[in-house]
Amino acid sequence: MNVLEDIVKACSKEIKEEETNIKQIILTLLSAWTNNPQNTRILAPSGEGKTYLVTKLAELFPQENITILAKATPQSFKYTFCSKKVIENGTGNYQDYDIALKPLEEQLKKTIDRETKKEIEKQIQELKDSVYDLVDFTNKIIVLVDSQSFELFDSIKATLSHDQENLKSFSVNKSKSGTILGQKFVIRGFPAVIYCSAKDEQKRDTTDEINTRFNTISLNTSPKKYRKMLELEAIHSSLPDSIYQEEVISEKEVEELKEKIKQIINYVKDFGKCCNPYGLGIQKLFRDDAGFRTRQFKILNNNIIIHTLANAKFRPKIIHDEIKTPITTRLDIEEACKLTKEPREIQPYKIKFFNDYIRCAILETGKEKHLIDVDFKCLTATELADYITKKGRTADRQKLQESFLKPLVEHGFLDEFQDPDNRTRNIYTLAQGFLNNEASLESTLIDTSMLNTSCLDSFVKKFIEQRYNSESLKILDENDQEITPKELLELLHKIDAQTPKITHKMGSIEASTSIDNFCDVS
């Protein structure tokens, strides 16, 4: 029922304790072969393995489709992916420049009449004046393995938004002689973008330009993961490659993984879309408090579509207008919702740091002070930094205040007061809700436990049944045997009942604890 699980299991032999993120990155990479590729950001500090995770998985995909960049300037994409020159032949239609020019050049060679020659030369010049450099992102994957300037994302936000299939752009450059030269571009299609960042751009991203265009994920940080990473490194450095392959993963297994991924890519290209009987039910659970919710819904739908297409072999299907389309099941919905997180104004690693250090420090070593007619346990920023240092991490007081304490106060995790015993400094105490409980975050975009299965019945009745009765549509089960709408509903309800449901709360937070060396590991 879930071919992706086999791939994740094999990849986990070298990428430890990151099963969920392995699956998300694979779905993002596969999305490059759809009309609506995904943008995924991995936000984690240096050394946590984000680059290793992405590059290791990218090796399994066709390399001609992948570009891995460390740093990119705001205009570099235009030149990196510039493939050929084209001319606009009607609105939105573009023709190869050389193909358009060649007949005129051949005609010019054969023409003797001076006036006719002038007319042809004029047409050639008009072609040259209207030429565009084509930047083709179709089926392309861009991996940014390091933090980038905010100006880069500002320059490509229209491409990241997937607003127009063909987007025109104009750049002005200066030649070596100092002459100002104009260059016209047409940007076709959209790439799947994976951004590995150790820098939280939130302070500059005041209008959520990045936050709403990316599905942001964090890496698991646990002693269990680190121990497994150390063990893998020990095995890798201690054994010849031939024995390493026997113990961990062989070249044959890697080649088999590549073949499986090629098969999935073919499924994605052949089918393109899915039939999701839960779609209307899901949208009712989505918040309607802001315009960016539509972008979030697209991200979720993208994960649902790719998960369905990746497992198309095991899904029921419809055939309409001679096109076969896989049907999404509850399993696809649940898996996609596990992966698609609600972007938060405060990043998960800060909540993780709050739980692991700041909350513990105040509860364990906080000094009782009388504030607002109540006694609170409080600590200064210096005292908090000293506690964190004793726990094995070097904490700079100023960076601690700016990067953790201030946002935690702003978002209601901490309360800040002027110290009654020393008015030149402030003290920090836990907000009431976190005295007895650790902080947790709302994780997924919707609570699928609230997804009523009646949406299946209404979907089949509204969109499938009538077309089936008029014989314009056929229904196939997972074995490609023809079935009726009633049998399809029985199948979908059976799968639904067998699939574990998820709620929208995370029981624990497995996010990164430090960005930009705010608190450096000593």
All structural domains of the chain: 348-442+509-521 (1.10.10.10)
Task: Write out pLDDT tens, residues 288-311.
Answer: 888 888 888 988 999 999 999 999
pLDDT at residue 460 is higher than 90: yes
Mean pLDDT in residue range 485-496: 96
Mean pLDDT in residue range 183-206: 80
Q: What is the pLDDT of residue 502?
A: 65
Mean pLDDT in residue range 40-68: 91
Mean pLDDT in residue range 193-219: 76
pLDDT band at 515 (very low <50, low <70, confident <90, very high): very low
The answer to whether 316 and 400 are in contact (CB under 8 A) is no
Amino acid, single-letter form, for residue 107: Q
> Which DSSP letter does residue 328 get?
P
User: Does residue 419 or residue 393 have the better pLDDT?
Assistant: 419
Q: Which residues contact 510 (CB under 8 A, 6 or more apart)?
A: 218, 219, 220, 221, 222, 352
Q: What is the pLDDT of residue 520?
A: 43
122 sits in the region (left: phi over 0; alpha: psi -120 to 50; else beta) called alpha
User: Does residue 91 or residue 267 have the better pLDDT?
Assistant: 267
Lowest mean pLDDT among 108-117, 205-214, 448-457: 205-214
Which of 95-110 are b and which e, b meaning 16 or more Cβ less than 10 Å from the residue's Cβ? eebeebbeeeeeeeee
pLDDT at residue 45 is higher than 80: no
pLDDT band at 47 (very low <50, low <70, confident <90, very high): confident
Q: What percent of the chain is predicted at pLDDT more than 70?
A: 90
**Which tokens sit at 402?**
């700016």
pLDDT band at 505 (very low <50, low <70, confident <90, very high): very low
**Which tokens sit at 278?**
């839960």
Mean pLDDT in residue range 104-127: 85
The answer to whether 483 and 476 are in contact (CB under 8 A) is yes
Task: Write out pLDDT tens, residues 172-185.
Answer: 766 666 666 677 88
Mean pLDDT in residue range 90-101: 78
* Alpha-carbon distances, residue 298 vs 56, 203, 214, 242, 384 (angstroms): 27, 25, 11, 45, 42
Q: Which residues pair with 497 in a beta bridge?
A: none
Task: Write out pLDDT tens, residues 326-339.
Answer: 999 999 999 998 88
pLDDT at residue 517 is higher than 50: no
Q: Residue 94: what are its φ and ψ, rounded to 5°?
A: -130, 140
Q: What is the pLDDT of residue 471?
A: 95
pLDDT at residue 457 is higher than 50: yes
101-102-105 Cα angle (round to 5):
90
Cα(514)–Cα(418) distance, rounded to whole angstroms? 27
- DSSP readout, 71-128? ---TTHHHHHTEEEEEEE-STT-EEEHHHHHHHHHHHHHH---HHHHHHHHHHHHHHH
Lowest mean pLDDT among 241-255, 286-300, 499-513: 499-513
User: Does residue 343 or residue 495 have the better pLDDT?
Assistant: 495
Question: What is the strand order of the sheet 82-88 is part of?
Answer: 94-96, 82-88, 131-136, 180-188, 166-174
User: Does residue 419 or residue 128 have the better pLDDT?
Assistant: 419
Cα(496)–Cα(141) distance, rounded to whole angstroms? 34
Lowest mean pLDDT among 313-327, 392-406, 458-472: 392-406
* Alpha-carbon distances, residue 89 vs 85, 92, 96, 132 (angstroms): 13, 8, 10, 11
pLDDT at residue 432 is higher than 80: yes
47 sits in the region (left: phi over 0; alpha: psi -120 to 50; else beta) called left
Lowest mean pLDDT among 3-7, 183-187, 315-319, 354-358: 183-187
Q: What is the pLDDT of residue 175?
A: 61
Mean pLDDT in residue range 398-427: 90
Q: What percent of the chain is predicted at pLDDT more than 90?
A: 48
Mean pLDDT in residue range 5-23: 94
Cα(103)–Cα(116) distance, rounded to whole angstroms? 14
Cα(164)–Cα(286) distance, rounded to whole angstroms? 25
Cα(22)–Cα(338) distance, rounded to whole angstroms? 13
Q: What is the pLDDT of residue 392?
A: 83
Lowest mean pLDDT among 245-249, 252-256, 346-350: 346-350
Q: What is the pLDDT of residue 104?
A: 84
76-199-208 Cα angle (round to 5):
80
No. of helices (H) and no. of strands (E), the chain: 21, 19
- DSSP readout, 481-520? -B--HHHHHHHHHHHHHHSPP--SB-SS------STTSEE
pLDDT band at 53 (very low <50, low <70, confident <90, very high): very high
Amino acid, single-letter form, for residue 176: K
Task: Write out pLDDT tens, residues 344-402.
Answer: 667 777 888 899 999 999 999 999 988 777 788 999 999 999 999 998 887 889 989 98
Lowest mean pLDDT among 49-58, 138-147, 193-202, 447-456: 193-202
Q: What is the pLDDT of residue 113?
A: 85
Cα(493)–Cα(453) distance, rounded to whole angstroms? 8
Q: How confident is the prediction for the chain on average, in pLDDT?
A: 86
Q: What is the pLDDT of residue 73?
A: 83
Lowest mean pLDDT among 68-72, 227-231, 466-470, 502-506: 502-506
pLDDT band at 410 (very low <50, low <70, confident <90, very high): confident
Entry pTM: 0.79
The answer to whether 131 and 182 are in contact (CB under 8 A) is no
Q: What is the pLDDT of residue 178?
A: 67
